[in-house]
Structure 1
């Protein structure tokens, strides 16, 4: 398998350390962050100054008429006047914090470098108690408190958490154009729905490119909007650029029943459902095809930081005992956002897979033009993430762990998932009939894509692939195991399937449970294939 990213050299490691140190230097120079209730937020104030980067291209032709017609929210714009501390507001509908029935929140979190330890003891030194009061700002104890977080906010997010997110985005991805911005989301599913409304117009017969097997919820978001997905062929590295180029070059609207696509939706790392990860070379090739055909890219990357070493054939192999944050950052496969010289990428990030799904907090990064349109929709849709999530994650990530602590958490998380992946793969090696089932060990994410050879099935082609797949699925359910059917993820479900697949995840089950589940699934396959 080709390398995913070049091994970091001393220059790259030094650059990552410089960026880390630069965050604190900018904060010290800027002084205390003062941002009260419903404070407006412009992320440009949190970015490192730059003069050498060009601005992004304009994307007017890609923005839908619906999005172009959205005006700014008048009441949200009026709230910007509250930045003047002397103004008395009689214009907004902001309740008084005196009427909030929460006075203080406390929660326990692990200290940096003591992640994933058993923390049952109340006096465990690896656990710290974090407290948030209603009036911490007024008392001079913090930059953010419950009186601010529990009130209405802006669609652009609270300045406190958006400062951290902006710094994190610059540290990890460092977009190569100047006018990039970030906007908060209520998770990537909500972000995708807003992005679809921004870029697509059903009245003109819009279509979208995706991997031939793609995230089922994303496909279910496109179709009701009248957008027709078209699947691009894949290999072990994911989407194949030559197939995408050939499809676009020979596009015929009449036979396809849709306009030539102007947007690609892709999950480049640990792709859901196949687990494939695009190498740096693959990403550059796909980006070049997008430039050639003027394709805008939606980069959905919930699993980006779970980039693991290759599987070595043993449960205990592949787990790195220690790794510094500079090596971790420099060793990540560059994001499309990091390669994006045009501003043609909207990247979706989320805390769901790396912290807590219930936070419903993430963000998108794109050019200033795209983010401005995204925020106009958010103002009349969800008004941004809820304040409870924002202040709790800010308290953890910014005030407790800091950037370096959060990166150490991500390293520990990657190692934890590496162990779980190895356990599932070891179970597959032990229990699945390799004469009919094959798989490529994933190097990112949470999913394993199992390929069942239909040509080896005694009743194929007399019985179609979908029917055999359904039989195996039903038998597995009867024996007590659930694996997702490959047909659930097909971008073009009305076309003939050319393979039979199942998706297994190592995200939540214990090692013992995974072994039992794979043994049962192997029995279901053997029964269908009539293997003794």
Structure 2
């Protein structure tokens, strides 16, 4: 398998997209000592008196053992959960006394910003198995949040505009705002980003605002919070638009492996699941897609491990940033995922993620069943069935509330109704009832006004949603849905519900 250096050398000539880089990135220098580590990795025959690593014989860790689930069965997640202590396992060992102690030593030593060679080979193998991107290269990261903030920093500077879904996981846009990036919302529906809305914004951009947006941040599968998944048709159209208007697509895809079939009363099987979707990365011929993956949703979030896949020209700037900031991720999780893929093999990894999606599909269907029984009969809320991810996006039919009103015509700021205020009241009512659930207002992309199409409905008037997760236990879901049904019934029945303190916030 080719390493990152070989991949970069053999890559075709991607489009020159360096004009998308932030000014601070272009002047950032290479960490010279980290570059020496790179030289030693690429030339292991060299006698090195260069690096100041403590000698590996002085590391007070001789052996690390990881007992992990076996992935030999067709449905390993089910066996892992149901059999408890009797579930079959594999023992993975990292040891300085092994026949080949290289990985153990490397996981404890100083490293290079790109990541451990073994970990890079592991994620490159996953990229090759699930995507078509033979000339893109991988860089290890401290999970998705670290990757996203570094990519935003690489691409954005004060006064730049980025595009994103109008409802977006809040911490991500905040990360870019800190260094002066402004956000432009793109209208979405149950199928995700609406391509014609994306093109409308770009085609009608008023240059008096500043430069036209040059980055699109997208979560194409099981989008958080809406649960929407882009169809292949939409992905192709969005990529065409990105070529036409010279966009970089930041493809944040933590839920890629959690894809679901439609609800069914029949037994599900890993053998009959729909295929994994075609990613933006697989469509990328220009090198304009920067893909972000994570082990958080398929292994454990505490590993704090993921990877960025990009064209080589972007990687060198990412590595410079990493080597002068967080440095490479901890060696232990990098060693673990390397040992895990060696132990499971690609076939075992595929069985695990397919089994995992089966388990989450059961959870999704369980929560949907509870919703249909406890909430839907009242006609006060409804849901679309998510094809991926971990969330139900619950539409609250506020137009049925006895205090739902439209604002006076002379009010020009914000929405034309009191939907936002009512949703805040409902959120507080849920808390009083014993349920914590997240209102859509938390996910509204922070932005300036003036991007809406004339005559369109304001985002405040379309924030009549709640986000509920099916990632938790069945006991939690079974306790939560009856509370939601009861609170909704009482909230809609009592027109005199006390208004909440406007200063209250979501914890």
TM-score bracket for the superposition, by shorter chain length: 0.7 to 0.9
How far off its partner does 1:321 sit? 2.2
**Worse overlay, 457-466 or 111-120:** 111-120
- Give the aligned partner of residue 398 of structure 2: 454
Q: 2 CA distance for matches of 1:158 and 1:278?
A: 33
Q: 2 CA distance for matches of 1:115 and 1:141?
A: 31
Task: Please give the residue correspondences for 1:13-32 in structure 2 after superposition, counting only pairs within 5 Å.
Answer: none
Structure 1 residue 194 and structure 2 residue 156: aligned? no
State which of 242, 248, 263 in structure 2 corresponds to 1:311.
263
- Give the aligned partner of residue 323 of structure 1: 271
Structure 1 residue 391 and structure 2 residue 331: aligned? no
Task: Please give the residue correspondences for 1:257-296 in structure 2 after superposition, counting only pairs within 5 Å.
Answer: 257-296=209-248
Structure 1 residue 43 and structure 2 residue 18: aligned? no
Q: 1 CA distance for matches of 2:483 and 2:83?
A: 37
Query: 1:123/1:476 Cα in 2 relative to 1: closer, same or farther (>3 Å)?
Result: closer
Query: 1:519/1:253 Cα in 2 relative to 1: closer, same or farther (>3 Å)?
Result: farther
Query: 1:71/1:117 Cα in 2 relative to 1: closer, same or farther (>3 Å)?
Result: same
Structure 1 stretches (4+) deviating beyond 6 angstroms?
Answer: 119-123
- Give the aligned partner of residue 162 of structure 1: 120
Q: Secondary structure at the match of 1:198?
A: helix
Q: Secondary structure at the match of 1:498?
A: helix
- Give the aligned partner of residue 8 of structure 1: none
- Give the aligned partner of residue 383 of structure 2: 439
Q: 2 CA distance for matches of 1:81 and 1:295?
A: 34
Task: Please give the residue correspondences for 1:517-532 in structure 2 after superposition, counting only pairs within 5 Å.
Answer: 517-530=480-493
Q: 1 CA distance for matches of 2:243 and 2:400?
A: 42
- Which stretches in structure 2 are left out of the alignment for 5+ residues? 407-416, 450-457, 496-507
Structure 1 residue 127 and structure 2 residue 89: aligned? yes
Q: Secondary structure at the match of 1:144?
A: helix
Structure 1 residue 515 and structure 2 residue 478: aligned? yes
Q: 1 CA distance for matches of 2:312 and 2:144?
A: 19
Query: 1:168/1:130 Cα in 2 relative to 1: closer, same or farther (>3 Å)?
Result: same
Offset from partner CA, 1:78-103 (integer Å, 9 cap, x none): 22443455644333221112222211
State which of 65, 68, 83 in structure 2 corresponds to 1:106.
65
Structure 1 residue 217 and structure 2 residue 165: aligned? no
- Give the aligned partner of residue 245 of structure 1: 199
Q: Is the 8 A contact 1:46 1:167 kept in 2?
A: no
- Give the aligned partner of residue 78 of structure 2: 116
**Worse overlay, 425-434 or 273-282:** 425-434
Q: CA RMSD in A?
A: 2.4
Q: TM-score with structure 2 length normalisation?
A: 0.87
How far off its partner does 1:523 sit? 1.6
- Give the aligned partner of residue 22 of structure 1: none
- Give the aligned partner of residue 505 of structure 1: 469
Structure 1 residue 183 and structure 2 residue 107: aligned? no
Q: Is the 8 A contact 2:250 2:291 kept in 1?
A: yes
Q: Is the 8 A contact 2:69 2:87 kept in 1?
A: no
- Give the aligned partner of residue 342 of structure 1: 286
Matched positions, count:
470
Query: 1:79/1:322 Cα in 2 relative to 1: closer, same or farther (>3 Å)?
Result: closer
State which of 426, 430, 434 in structure 2 corresponds to 1:476.
430
How far off its partner does 1:124 sit? 3.9
Structure 1 residue 410 and structure 2 residue 332: aligned? no
**Worse overlay, 462-471 or 209-218:** 462-471
Offset from partner CA, 1:409-458 (integer Å, 9 cap, x none): 00100100000000100011011145221210101010110111222111
Offset from partner CA, 1:445-488 (integer Å, 9 cap, x none): 10110111222111112672221111111111122211111011
- Give the aligned partner of residue 452 of structure 2: none
Query: 1:179/1:120 Cα in 2 relative to 1: closer, same or farther (>3 Å)?
Result: closer
Q: Secondary structure at the match of 1:132?
A: strand
Q: 1 CA distance for matches of 2:227 and 2:81?
A: 32
Q: Is the 8 A contact 1:487 1:493 kept in 2?
A: no
Query: 1:116/1:141 Cα in 2 relative to 1: closer, same or farther (>3 Å)?
Result: farther
Query: 1:115/1:515 Cα in 2 relative to 1: closer, same or farther (>3 Å)?
Result: closer
Q: Secondary structure at the match of 1:184?
A: strand
- Give the aligned partner of residue 21 of structure 1: none
Query: 1:215/1:105 Cα in 2 relative to 1: closer, same or farther (>3 Å)?
Result: same
Q: Secondary structure at the match of 2:429?
A: helix
- Give the aligned partner of residue 357 of structure 1: 301
